[in-house]
């Protein structure tokens, strides 16, 4: 079965702060075809994201597939508030790389 990495299909893959105790992830597509392909693949779900980021599903407070914008968004609770001693990504902008290599079946 042929597949493509998510980075090849999405226009934007990013993470950022969503307040002091959350990080939000955005996966945005240019074309409805790529969005529908990824959405229909079942590779990006609340459960698969929990597994990918090694957290329990209850640490994902939001998971949305937003059809009008061809976007998938999910938000996770941080293990420690932004800026806490030992916290290593104050802006939450370095958390998205595990998403890049997700394999999406294309046929």
- Domain limits of the chain? 3-102
DSSP-derived secondary structure letter, 59: G
Task: Note whether 50 and 60 are within 8 A (CB).
Answer: yes
Q: Which of 79, 76, 70, 73 is nearest to 50 (CA)?
A: 76
Residue that has been written with the tokens 């990824």 in this structure: 38
Mean pLDDT calculated for residue range 7-24: 96
Entry pTM: 0.93
How confident is the model over 87-101, as pLDDT tens digits? 889 999 999 999 999
CA dihedral 84, 88, 72, 7 (to 10 degrees): 170
How confident is the model over 37-51, as pLDDT tens digits? 999 999 999 999 999
Task: Note whether 73 and 11 are within 8 A (CB).
Answer: no
Mean pLDDT taken over the chain = 96
Mean pLDDT calculated for residue range 58-76: 98
Structure tokens belonging to residue 86:
């030992």
- pLDDT of res. 53: 97
């Amino acid at each position: 079965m042929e597949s493509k990495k998510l980075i090849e299909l999405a226009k934007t893959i990013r993470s950022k702060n969503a307040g002091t105790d959350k990080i939000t992830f955005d996966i945005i597509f240019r074309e409805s075809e790529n969005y529908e392909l990824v959405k229909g693949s079942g590779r990006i779900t609340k459960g698969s994201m929990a597994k990918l980021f090694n957290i329990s599903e209850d640490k994902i407070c939001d998971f949305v597939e937003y059809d009008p914008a061809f976007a998938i968004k999910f938000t996770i609770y941080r293990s420690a508030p932004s800026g806490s001693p030992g916290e290593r990504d104050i802006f939450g902008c370095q958390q998205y790389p595990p998403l890049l290599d997700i394999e999406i079946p294309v046929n």
